[in-house]
């Protein structure tokens, strides 16, 4: 009986193998075709979904400087009392606008009774994530106006047990930074912090802050290590920053102004985050931008992870989905100046105004800025007129800076066609196309750039993501169908690397409890983070880009989706390898009769595979490794081999030439 069933199993395997379709695929590694730009696969960063404050920026205190619209937001008075009915006047907001006009509010503590308990409690960003054994830097700016007051700072876990504390003394009536270190005795993603005022007297306090010491590169007041590591692992060619619609602002006053994000942290003027109430179904009234992660920190991170910076600047036109507020054309000077000064901040000598500030902040060497974008996702005459003025002024002073221009919110339709017509007249160099489309669109459009005009501008696929439900729908999931469709689409971008110079998935980050927009590449909570299947697709492309494309064909045709088969191939001239990417979007396994010309007699390599039977499956914070790449080895004789592509699979082959 046992023998019979193994015979049956054997015949079944044989039958399936015969039934599988075999496709002959020819790869020509003897003729490198076009250069793949080092910027081909990059990152789009925007402070959406608590990506910066509450995310990448490792500050654990929310509303640390009491500048939210309601100053006590995220804070409780201790002993617990309604912050609105503060009848004792022991904890009040004092306006210190003469002392610091950018950050005027401080808390005035008037403690009359030495024996009475008085303090403040902060809730953090959906709690404070604390790890056992780790050290945390507490700090605040304070001045003692009279009497004698010390601070008892405690971290409480979600059971309200104290899991670390420190005591800090205040010395005098000048503003001073008080600092202490707390070592935690428990791990909990939902901690709180108490700051008790001991003694009697009056003090003013501001910038109450708590950071893990274990940040990216151990920088004080730095970035979350696990999140930067996920970015570094992508080996991105560039980082686009700060977005996204956040560049434009809902109104011009709320636009992103880089000059307000550099210099001393306490002097950076915070503003409301434009995503705080954008979606009724995901309101976030406590979402502000402290700019603790500002332009200096951004440039530094790019340098750390070996990516070219790509700042996107306001063109004097607020978000056209919101107010469309316009700066008059004859009053665009501040916007022009912002662009010129940013280039000086990044690249200027330390004898220039903005170069000197960069040096003062700790980086005398230039950041080597080579490109920037004028306007994000803007459209119509209003955009082109403003773009023309700003880009002309930039090129007059800095002819070598590459400028990115926008084509509006969609990669087709009237607005897009208008941009395609107008931008060449403005000598556009690289244009930013956005596609938030259904997965099928990605599978159907792998040929999008095959017949693009080679004599026009270059393409930056600056924001894209397959939407499993509908654009920006809260139902969207980072599922395997989306990731696989993106993998299929990317074969077309890579094949057309002579036109497509840059690509980036968007948005990048989302807090699992505080997001506004989904899908997103990387998700995190207060302690951990994980890459989606889409993240691993990006990673496989970015880590295996190669330097020049080579031909990959079946029956003389590119692999663009016939029978669900897509392909791209390149050579890496540095490592002397052939890189082949194959995507099978069909429900059937496919046999590939592969013939690579230009390989040695016997060559070895590796295969990196992503295979998942269930298209609706996706990684989660509790099961982050459901869909991850696996690696195996391959050896090839005389350039010939038979491969099997499982149903719904994406594979990268790296073979020594």
- In this structure, how many other beta carbons lie within 10 angstroms of the beta carbon of residue 525? 18
Q: How far is the CB of 54 from ligand AHR (least distance, A)?
A: 17
Nearer to ligand AHR, 511 or 654 (CB): 511
Under 8 Å between Cβ of 128 and 193: yes
Q: How many residues does the chain have?
A: 657
Q: How far is the CB of 521 from ligand AHR (least distance, A)?
A: 11
Which window, 237-245, 277-285, 569-577, 605-613, contacts ligand AHR (CB under 6 A)? Answer: 237-245
Chain residue at closest Cβ approach to ligand AHR = 244
Per CB under 6 A, does 42 bind ligand AHR? no
- The pattern of x and - marking residues 356 through 375 that bind ligand AHR according to CB under 6 A reads --------------------
Q: How far is the CB of 155 from ligand AHR (least distance, A)?
A: 34
Q: How far is the CB of 268 from ligand AHR (least distance, A)?
A: 22
Vertex 253 angle, CA 463 and 51, to 5°:
40
Nearer to ligand AHR, 94 or 535 (CB): 535
Nearest to 479 by CA among 442, 528, 514, 526: 442
**Which of 25, 37, 41, 46 is the binder for ligand AHR (CB under 6 A)?**
46
Alpha-carbon distance 522 to 529, whole Å? 7
Residue 33 corresponds to which tokens in the numbers above? 């075709």
Which window, 220-228, 241-249, 442-450, 642-650, contacts ligand AHR (CB under 6 A)? Answer: 241-249
- The pattern of x and - marking residues 583 through 622 that bind ligand AHR according to CB under 6 A reads ----------------------------------------
**Which of 164, 212, 244, 294 is the binder for ligand AHR (CB under 6 A)?**
244
Q: How far is the CB of 246 from ligand AHR (least distance, A)?
A: 6
Catalytic residues: 377
How is the beta sheet containing 238-241 ordered, strand by strand?
A: 43-44, 238-241, 308-313, 371-374, 402-406, 430-437, 458-466, 500-505
Nearer to ligand AHR, 184 or 245 (CB): 245
Under 8 Å between Cβ of 627 and 619: yes
Nearer to ligand AHR, 298 or 566 (CB): 298
Which window, 137-145, 242-250, 440-448, 570-578, contacts ligand AHR (CB under 6 A)? Answer: 242-250
Which residues ranging from 448 to 507 are in contact with ligand AHR (CB under 6 A)?
Answer: 463, 506-507
Q: Tell me if residue 599 falls in helix, strand or coil.
A: coil
Nearer to ligand AHR, 81 or 272 (CB): 272
Alpha-carbon distance 402 to 405, whole Å? 10
Alpha-carbon distance 386 to 452, whole Å? 27
Alpha-carbon distance 393 to 396, whole Å? 5
Please report, for the chain, how many H helices and E strands are present, in that order. Answer: 10, 32
- In this structure, how many other beta carbons lie within 10 angstroms of the beta carbon of residue 470? 11
Q: Tell me if residue 420 falls in helix, strand or coil.
A: helix
Q: How far is the CB of 247 from ligand AHR (least distance, A)?
A: 8
Under 8 Å between Cβ of 571 and 578: yes
Please give the C-alpha separations between residue 417 and each of 409, 410, 414, in angstroms, as whole numbers: 12, 10, 5
Which window, 110-118, 240-248, 277-285, 618-626, contacts ligand AHR (CB under 6 A)? Answer: 240-248
**Which of 91, 193, 230, 245 is the binder for ligand AHR (CB under 6 A)?**
245
Nearest to 479 by CA among 516, 439, 529: 439
- The pattern of x and - marking residues 54 through 93 that bind ligand AHR according to CB under 6 A reads ----------------------------------------
Q: How far is the CB of 409 from ligand AHR (least distance, A)?
A: 6
**Which of 55, 104, 242, 243 is the binder for ligand AHR (CB under 6 A)?**
243
Residue 496 corresponds to which tokens in the numbers above? 């057309």
Nearest to 656 by CA among 572, 582, 543: 572
- In this structure, how many other beta carbons lie within 10 angstroms of the beta carbon of residue 345? 26
Nearer to ligand AHR, 192 or 274 (CB): 274
Nearer to ligand AHR, 139 or 376 (CB): 376
Q: Applying CB under 6 A, what is the total number of residues that bind ligand AHR?
A: 12
Helix or strand (DSSP H, E) at 464 = strand 458-466
- In this structure, how many other beta carbons lie within 10 angstroms of the beta carbon of residue 136? 24
Q: How far is the CB of 509 from ligand AHR (least distance, A)?
A: 11
φ, ψ of residue 248 in degrees (nearest 5): -80, -35
How is the beta sheet containing 509-511 ordered, strand by strand?
A: 509-511, 522-524, 529-531
Per CB under 6 A, does 376 bind ligand AHR? yes
Per CB under 6 A, does 409 bind ligand AHR? yes
Under 8 Å between Cβ of 303 and 367: yes
Q: How far is the CB of 319 from ligand AHR (least distance, A)?
A: 9
Which window, 58-66, 150-158, 238-246, 365-373, contacts ligand AHR (CB under 6 A)? Answer: 238-246
Nearer to ligand AHR, 319 or 652 (CB): 319
- Tokens 């800090």 — which residue? 168
H-type alpha helices, 398-479: 414-425, 439-444
Which residues ranging from 515 to 554 are in contact with ligand AHR (CB under 6 A)?
Answer: 517
Q: How far is the CB of 283 from ligand AHR (least distance, A)?
A: 17
Helix or strand (DSSP H, E) at 468 = none
Nearer to ligand AHR, 48 or 608 (CB): 48
Which residues make up the interface to ligand AHR (CB under 6 A)?
Answer: 46, 48, 243-245, 376-377, 409, 463, 506-507, 517
């Amino acid at each position: 009986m046992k023998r019979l069933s193994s015979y049956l199993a054997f015949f079944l395997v044989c039958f399936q193998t015969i039934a599988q379709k075999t496709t002959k695929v020819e790869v020509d590694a003897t003729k490198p075709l076009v250069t793949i730009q080092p910027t081909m696969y990059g990152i789009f960063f925007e402070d959406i979904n608590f990506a910066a404050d509450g995310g990448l920026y490792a500050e654990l205190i929310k509303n640390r400087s009491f500048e939210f619209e309601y100053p006590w937001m995220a804070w409780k008075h201790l002993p617990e009392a309604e912050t609105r009915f503060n009848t004792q006047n022991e904890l009040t907001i004092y306006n210190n606008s003469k002392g610091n006009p950018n950050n005027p509010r401080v808390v005035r503590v008037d403690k009359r009774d030495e024996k009475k308990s008085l303090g403040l409690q902060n809730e953090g960003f959906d709690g404070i994530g604390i790890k056992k054994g780790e050290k945390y830097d507490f700090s605040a700016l304070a001045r003692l106006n009279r009497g004698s007051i010390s601070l008892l700072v405690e971290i409480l876990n979600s059971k309200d047990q104290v899991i670390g504390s420190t005591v800090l003394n205040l010395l005098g009536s000048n503003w001073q930074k008080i600092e202490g270190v707390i070592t935690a005795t428990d791990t909990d993603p939902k901690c709180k912090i108490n700051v008790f005022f001991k003694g009697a007297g009056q003090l003013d306090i501001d910038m109450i802050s708590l950071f893990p010491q274990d940040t990216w590169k151990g920088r004080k007041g730095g970035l979350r290590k696990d999140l930067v590591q996920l970015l570094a692992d992508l080996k991105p060619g560039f980082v686009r920053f700060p977005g996204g619609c956040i560049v434009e602002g809902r109104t011009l006053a709320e636009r992103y102004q880089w000059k307000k994000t550099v210099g001393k942290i306490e002097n950076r003027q915070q503003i409301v985050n434009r995503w705080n109430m954008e979606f009724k179904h995901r309101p976030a009234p406590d979402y502000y931008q402290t700019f603790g992660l500002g332009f200096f920190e951004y440039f530094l991170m790019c340098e750390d992870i070996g990516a070219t910076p790509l700042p996107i600047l306001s063109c004097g036109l607020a978000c056209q989905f919101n107010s469309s507020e316009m700066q008059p054309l004859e009053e665009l000077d501040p916007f022009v100046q912002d662009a010129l000064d940013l280039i000086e901040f990044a690249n200027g000598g330390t004898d220039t105004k903005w170069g000197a500030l960069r040096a003062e902040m700790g980086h005398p060497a230039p950041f080597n800025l080579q490109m920037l974008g004028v306007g994000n996702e803007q459209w119509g005459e209003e955009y082109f007129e403003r773009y023309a003025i700003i880009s002309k002024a930039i090129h007059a002073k800095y002819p070598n800076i590459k400028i990115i221009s926008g084509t509006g919110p969609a990669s087709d339709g009237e607005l897009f066609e208008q941009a395609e017509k107008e931008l060449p007249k403005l000598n556009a160099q690289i244009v930013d196309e956005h596609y938030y489309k259904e997965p099928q669109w990605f599978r159907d459009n792998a040929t999008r750039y095959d017949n693009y005009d080679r004599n026009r501008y270059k393409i930056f696929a600056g924001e894209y993501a397959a939407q499993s439900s509908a654009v920006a729908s809260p139902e969207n999931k980072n599922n395997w169908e989306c990731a696989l469709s993106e993998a299929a689409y990317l074969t077309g971008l890579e094949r057309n690397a002579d036109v497509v110079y840059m690509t980036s998935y968007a948005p990048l980050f989302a807090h699992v409890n505080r997001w506004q927009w989904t899908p997103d590449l990387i998700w995190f909570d207060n302690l951990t983070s994980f890459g989606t299947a889409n993240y691993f697709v990006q990673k496989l492309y970015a880590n295996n880009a190669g330097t020049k494309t080579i031909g990959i064909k079946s029956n003389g045709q590119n692999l663009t989706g016939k029978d669900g088969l897509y392909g791209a191939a390149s050579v890496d001239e540095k490592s002397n390898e052939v890189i082949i990417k194959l995507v099978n979007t069909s429900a059937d396994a496919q046999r590939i009769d592969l013939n690579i010309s230009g390989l040695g007699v016997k060559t070895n390599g590796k295969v990196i595979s992503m295979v998942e039977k269930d298209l609706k499956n996706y990684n989660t914070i509790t099961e982050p490794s459901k869909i991850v790449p696996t690696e195996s080895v391959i050896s090839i004789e005389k350039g010939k081999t038979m491969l099997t592509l499982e149903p719904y699979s994406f594979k990268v082959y790296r073979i020594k030439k």
